[in-house]
Amino acid sequence: GMVVAVVPAAGAGTRLGGERPKQFLPLAGRPLLTRTLMVLEATPQVQAVVVVCPPGAEDETWRACVEPYGLAKVAAVVPGGAQRQDSVAAGVARAARLGAEWLVVHDAARPLARPELFARVLAAAAQTGAAIAAVPAADTIKQAGEGDLAQSTLDRSQLWLVQTPQVFRRDLLERALAQATADGFYATDEAGLVERMGEKVKLVMGSRDNLKITTPEDLALAQGIMGPAMR
């Protein structure tokens, strides 16, 4: 079936401290969003890409991040919404019109995911209907209470840190998004919506260098991981 990637890039990116949304900030000389789209371009299983940008930034996104770089798979740049989930829903609606049977949701802010990770998550999703990249927690994770006092310590052996790509059979994600909207439920990842319907989501070993670029330090870290050859 046809595989379409939905790339949410409609966040304000305010934690990165720039005046421009973070997807336009340069990473190794190209916009962060472009770096992420280049990975999808190099992933043979992905046939088309829908980019979701801040409302009103469609033309700028196309001109700054897509057009100059020969990204032939980018089929559309569509406006997102107030919450990540709204942005993903907008991208999913466009991907459905392209004929998608499988949806690959991948953060614009994760330019270091590799094509082989996309291949493994897609292969796992083919078995279960949904699969996501994640890594076992290396640090101990505590729940904090008032005044930043440690309240409890979670059992690390059961904890995974969730990344993207997240892959879903199209009808499954559409149902999960519709149900969440109807219930006024918001999650920080799409798999959370699928889980709450009682559906299986397979965790696939991601990579610790598949950073989500959130703060200025992350940009520097990503440059370092990409190596001198790419700087």
Task: List residues near ligand C5P by CB under 6 A.
Answer: 8-11, 52, 80-84, 87, 107-109, 212, 214
Which of 43, 87 has the CB closer to ligand C5P?
Answer: 87
User: What is the end-to-end Cα distance of the chain in Å, rounded?
Assistant: 37
Beta carbon of residue 157, minimum distance to ligand C5P (angstroms, whole number) = 26
Which of 83, 128 has the CB closer to ligand C5P?
Answer: 83
Q: Which two tokens stand for residue 21?
A: 């949304």
CA separation for the pair 135, 207 (Å, rounded): 7
Q: Which two tokens stand for residue 192?
A: 């959370």
Q: Give counts: helices (H), strands (E), the chain.
A: 7, 11
Beta carbon of residue 91, minimum distance to ligand C5P (angstroms, whole number) = 8
- The answer to whether the beta carbons of residues 202 and 124 sit under 8 Å apart is yes
Which of 106, 170 has the CB closer to ligand C5P?
Answer: 106
Which of 82, 182 has the CB closer to ligand C5P?
Answer: 82
Beta carbon of residue 43, minimum distance to ligand C5P (angstroms, whole number) = 17
- The answer to whether the beta carbons of residues 31 and 23 sit under 8 Å apart is yes
Beta carbon of residue 231, minimum distance to ligand C5P (angstroms, whole number) = 23
